[in-house]
Structure 1
């Protein structure tokens, strides 16, 4: 300690240092002056940032902290200046925007010291954070270039401290635009994955988009929902939402809170209610039973839409699905058409499995006798079962009959390498000819055979030749035999020789005894003349006469044909046929016949005059040098000649 020496008798005075107080020596600033100073400070910082950018530098983290703090604490003009600065180059200034939002959120949560007494400070409230976030999101969408907009919009939602309900509304609107739906749904999906506190709310927004009026939005949202469903975390929530909308289809009219101003069910709003469910069906096969319940209780318009929308999900389930097989086995009453459609889809280009065939066969024989149930599994049935079902099958709608034949003939498959059918094309056509008329009328059978003939790549001339051969060997002859012969010849003229052979063999089978077949025989002869003229000559006289009665146009060509024969050829034609043709034998033949008659007369006279039978007379042999007079009639005169015997 220092010692101060003072004169004797002098008392030193104590000296106290006075502390400098600026408030004592300066006058208080007005609110306006303080605002100007704050604004000036912020402006200088922002100007410095602009200069730094010109030099390819960025604003310092300390400056960012100051700007975010001032904008949060004072708001007003400072906030406006900061927002304008951010929007000048949002891509470069996004960090400032996020820092500002974090300051706003920190003040809202009470993490920052407040209440410094500055009259310019604003009170902390949720409105400031909501207002700041909403404005920034809107500005991104409206003022940012499209190439940066989606990236910045995604970054905001993934990095901001809290997502408000207002922000979710903006995001949902963003998802409704077809050009931005993919990015919007990706943001929602990321929020569900990476922001657990609000993931149920985010999932709900995603599910709401699966019933959007916009088809593209609906499809993409359902795809994301399916992916979340496959993970298993949110399976109950997603399935409940899908089933809730599916069950709306049981109502007589669309719920007005979902479809405003739509009093009746249409295909569009039915698809909206089904979209998510259809996407989930290949993942959870048990949901198929809920569809059967809804189908039974739905109106006709909804049923049609359901049937049209099944192809994708059912193919996704596959033929081996235990739940699908269970549905077929326990087909609910009223859901037969649904089950039939499902089986059709499963077997469209794939042979039915033995398990599926067994269940369909059992269902057909025990519960549902509708032959349409058998169509999808025809190729899994036996030949006997297919032929037995043919009369019922060809009575169905022509389009359905066409599908039946496509399945049996393999026309519905892209490659026939692995295709097998219980009946061959020839066996099918033969079976159609043999259908009992009491089970199916002839007109229906004719239509069915015409469908076969339409498949020229299957019913070649070789196949048709086999068919005609088999039909001709039957007894009695099938009623439609000749129709098939004529139709085959029309398709393949090269079968003419084969057809002529068929006609000849039919004569040996006495074809005229079956009226319909006989009429067809005559028509075939009409169409195949002159080749058929030779066949007509083989008919008995009575039947040939009937041919001319039915078809007079055949008589003259046949007469001309025979008139052109040589004498030797005409000699082989029976007299009765020539009589029908009003033709006579050649003269030489007549002479021979007359000579034969004279000889017969002489024999009768000799027998009377000389007695004895012809055999007795034949036993007589003339001696040598015996002369026998032979008399022959020629041109009405008599000539005699003696011959040595």
Structure 2
């Protein structure tokens, strides 16, 4: 190759740009390919995978392609996949962060997605809106002047979506409300200013750290004053949302977290957040469940501790610590969360710009005060005086006003007035939120109480603070027109003294002033000897120090168990601990309780000693209480309930024994202890132990027996089956006690009689704990509540059944149905031999017939009725209530004749009841089941029912029930039934239907059926019309085997068969034609005439008859002019016929009559043919095919016979004919022999018949 043909080498820079161009081209092609594939994909996962690759390529790898493919990506906002639309929301967020100039194209898509029908898509859109908002604001700040239309469009679109958030805060969807709260969190943070104390989250980027400080003062679209007001409005919406009475627990905890975040990052809102949490603590939503209340309080405690750690909490430490104390925070938790005072002081010093500062008051403090977290706060509060024009909040003003009014006299009046309005039981909401007051009566507690009342009054729009703030607002509005129209309360500046963590600043200051200074040194002087007095050298200690010293001494005694055991002083130690705890109480009770539950097995004696000591103090048995009035049982009740509650909350099984022992050995059982016992046995795992404890209390404490028994009886109608079942078993055991059976029975009867009330009385629901409403009408559950105990006592006292019958007669239909459903178990427990049950059946109150019937059914279910029960039911049926349904349960105890006599009435009942009757009579194959009727007798009895007593359709349905029991009605049983019915005279109407049905069920009995048909011929079956029709139908069904039977019919009857079923004639004729000459000679000529009758000849006779009818020489034929011989084939007609001239004329009339009958037969055959099912037609076609094959085979044999005149061949043909009559698959029945008379004998018998 020449040098000129070689390519010129490119420089390094040129190669780089070429590679970049090729890479760009390949990225473009790859994006096109991915977008096209995503458009065609069906699964959302695959589609999102492609789109995520496109996002990576055009947003991060090649941002220059973002504008090119933006429209293609935004087109997926209308995709049917929810996950795809959610991904598009994320793509819009990333794209706008990368290229803010695309906001104008993306905002319409976000507005559409915000209104998407899918909730998840809406939530995703709301989630990205805070970032979109910050991106828009930064874009407006940094963008160059110009393009105002697009900027205005973007900003107005964002404002429209922001206004949509105001609507969605009240959405029905819980998740949407949660996401809207998070939107307002970011919105308020962006539209507020930072301070030096603002907390900056880790990883916060400048874009996310947008504040009002970043927005220039003069901006065309961003107005600082308006934006600041919008941010404050958003924060107020969050506070109102938190205070709404129907907020859910998820929303509440979300908004608590959001406003806590705002308070830490924007301390200007700190005061509002603290006040909002104070209001929330005393106004929790009433819709929260107990577990939800606990979760919310824990969450609130966590957020308050978080706020306490913040440097801005210095001004609000009293409020926060008091609130934390109410929420159950310990002193150590509060101390750990205290802000570092030195750092905060240093920060404030650095921020101070003016050189003139107020002098600090330096106070020499003792070491104890240096550890108090409020000392530094107190010193600064003394120095930092509030400006005179500072505005107090409504809560602070109302709190100060109430504090002055909380005098003992006013508080006593309030308590007396409130007691009238107290509910009978403590509300669950109050019980779950109430925290015991640790320092009742102190100044700090009074101030805290005043603040709690002020918070509730302010929330309700009442109090002095509301009025003064409104007045200040109006005055301010007059002076300054630019003031905000909405009142925003300022942070409270008044210091509330508290005892949490130590002394407040004011107390320290008072202590410093009142503390005596050290005396100056003096010269020694002579003095007299001074008597030593302890009071002269001791000084009174403050309450906190006394409590701490007492607790420390008590702890040392608790830890001295081993030393006491060595010194044989365990008993004295136990007595000392019990006495100290009962005398001083307070924190000592908590310490002793914790010590007891550390090792229950070892420390249980200490628990009983404490309990007995409390009881002795209350009863005045102790020396310290001599001469004093007997104290209340409150302290004893608290001790007992503390111990019982602690035992109930422990999961260990051995605690149940200690729980049982504590209740049994307690000197007195209080109402609170009984309430704990109720809660104890509601637990399924503890119900047995709890009920046994209650039983022992009933037996061992006669004075309060009825009180404990009432709890047990109420539990017998408990909503939980486990509790109810155990309570009824325990009650039945106690019912055996003669001292308790009376109250138990009276309670059961009183509860039962409540069923006669028009609606459920409220007293029924006394034992329900979580009832939401009392129904106005009787429901099944409420009815059962009144029945459980009474029915449980029935097996113990059978006489109660009579009272139940009386109540049943007066009850409404719903109550009656419920009683019938719940009777089974108690009635089975009473048994069939119960004299009271027999008496109930015998007397049977009017209106209680269904109850008695149900009782009898239960007693006889899977058991044979006793003779006594059968006798009483029989008397009831014959003498008082002639309803055959009474006999159904005792059918197996009646005689055969009684059952047969009642059968016609029984089968008229409801089909379900008839099925039950047959089940009882047939027994379903149970060997031990004794029925008055065998299956054979039952089916025979059904055939013999008088049609005048029961219609034939009902009888047919009853026989079908028998045939449906194939396991019982086998072919052998049906053969016996058919044999018995055939021997009856007259033959039952449904006999041939039974024969046909049996043949359909068991085709193998065809031989037996042919034998029946032969015997029916001897009984002249044609004399019974219905039976004769069934005979013809059976012949048709069994052809060609029935041809031999049909040949035995007399000629008139054979002709009648052909008139009914003309399709039988040709097959029968073909069959006869296959006979040999000798065989044909055995067939009577009359039969052959009927077989060989030409249809054309019949048509000719019909035409002749028609001509005769059209003639004019008809002469009326009178009955007395006819002289005919008696013939089986001719019946006198009531029609007018010409007078007899000779025998020919009479025969002509007979032929005409036969023609009419043939025409009627043709019409009947056509109608019958139409009714035949397709299956029968197919079967007939198969039979004809077989007949044709057989006929061809016989013709072949006939040809062979002509070639050979061997007499053995004739014998073989006779055998073939007999084989046709008796096929191989015929069921052999010994007692039903086939008719084996040969043809010649039958021929001779026919010759002997008189000819007609």
Match of 1:512 in 2: 1022
For residue 557 of structure 2, the aligned residue among 45, 51, 64 is 45
CA distance in 1, matches of 2:1031, 2:1077: 29
**Which residue, out of 688, 712, 720, partners 1:214?**
720
SS at match of 2:799: helix
Give the counterpart of 1:547 among 1034, 1057, 1077.
Answer: 1057
Cα distance per residue 1:465-494 (max 9 Å; x no partner):
111111111111100001111112222222
Deviation at 1:395, TM superposition (A): 0.3
Q: Tell me what 2:798 maps to.
A: 285
Q: 1:527 to 1:129 in 2, by over 3 A?
A: same
Deviation, 1:165, is: 0.9
Q: Following the alignment from structure 1 to structure 2, what is the Cα–Cα distance between the partners of residues 123 and 25?
A: 36
Offset of residue 336 of structure 1: 0.7
| TM-aligned CA deviation for residue 370 of structure 1 | 0.3
Q: Does 1:341 align with 2:854?
A: yes
Is residue 581 from structure 1 mapped to residue 1079 from structure 2 by the alignment? no
2:965 counterpart of 1:416: no
Sort the Cα spacing of 1:368 and 1:342 in 2 relative to 1 into closer, same or farther, 3 A.
Answer: same
> Offset of 1:277 from its aligned partner?
0.8
Where 1:234 maps in the other structure, the secondary structure is helix
Q: For residue 956 of structure 2, what is the aligned residue in structure 1? A: 446
Q: Partner of 2:1035 in structure 1?
A: 525
Would you say the 8 A contact 2:617–2:625 is kept in 1? Answer: no
Contact 1:192 1:203 in 2 (8 A): yes
Structure 2 residue 986 is the aligned partner of structure 1 residue 482: no
SS in 1 for 2:762: coil
- After TM superposition, give the deviation of residue 338 of structure 1 in Å: 0.7
Structure 1 SS opposite 2:653: helix
Asked if structure 2 preserves the Cα contact closer than 8 Å seen for 1:219 and 1:275, the reply is no
Contact 2:619 2:630 survives alignment (8 Å): no
* Cα distance, 1:35 vs structure 2: 5.1
Cα deviations by residue, 1:358-377 (Å, 9 ceiling, x for unpaired): 11111111110001111111
1:297 to 806, 810, 821: 810
Q: Give matches, 1:78-477, under 5 Å.
A: 78-115=588-625, 124-142=631-649, 144-259=650-765, 260-411=773-924, 415-417=926-928, 419-477=929-987
- Where 1:263 maps in the other structure, the secondary structure is coil
**1:258 positional shift:** 2.5
2-structure distance, mates of 1:397, 1:60: 82
CA deviation map 1:187-233 (0-9, x unaligned): 21121123333222111100010111222222221111111112333
Q: Quick check: 2:611–2:640 contact (8 Å CA) kept in 1?
A: yes
Deviates more, 1:506-515 or 1:195-204: 195-204
Distance verdict in 2 for CA 1:232–1:469, change over 3 Å: same
Counterpart contact for 1:49–1:58, Cα < 8 Å: no
Higher mean displacement: 101-110 or 460-469: 460-469
SS in 2 for 1:410: helix
TM-score (norm 1): 0.81
CA contact (8 A) 1:91 1:148 kept: no
Q: Cα gap change, 1:173/1:58 in structure 2, threshold over 3 Å: closer, same or farther?
A: farther
Distance in 1 separating the partners of 2:667 and 2:568? 24
Change (3 A) 1:52 1:453: farther
Instruction: Provide the rounded CA distance (Å) in 2 between the counterparts of 1:27 and 1:253.
Output: 74
Shift in Å, 1:78: 2.3
Q: Deviations over 1:1-60 (max 9, x none)?
A: xxxxxxxxxxxxxxxxx9x9875886476575765554333221112238899x9x9992
Structure 2: segments with no counterpart, 5+ residues: 1-528, 766-772, 1095-1252
Task: Name the CA shift for 1:505/1:92 in 2 (closer, same or farther; >3 Å).
Answer: same
TM-score of the pair, normalised by structure 2 = 0.43
- Please give the alpha-carbon distance, in whole angstroms, between the structure 1 residues aligned to 2:581 and 2:682: 33
Q: What is the Cα deviation at residue 575 of structure 1?
A: 1.1
Moved more, 187-196 or 24-33: 24-33
Query: Deviations for 1:238-274, whole angstroms, at most 9, x for unmatched residues?
Result: 1111111111122232223425431222222211111
**Cα 1:388–1:170 shift into 2, 3 Å:** same
Aligned residues of 1:74 and 1:122 also touching (Cα < 8 A): no
Are residues 1:70 and 2:580 paired? yes
Structure-1 residue corresponding to 2:1245: none
Taking the aligned partners of 2:751 and 2:626, their CA distance within structure 1 comes to 55
Q: CA RMSD in A?
A: 2.7
Cα distance between partner residues in 1 of 2:828 and 2:742: 24
CA distance in 2, matches of 1:553, 1:58: 120
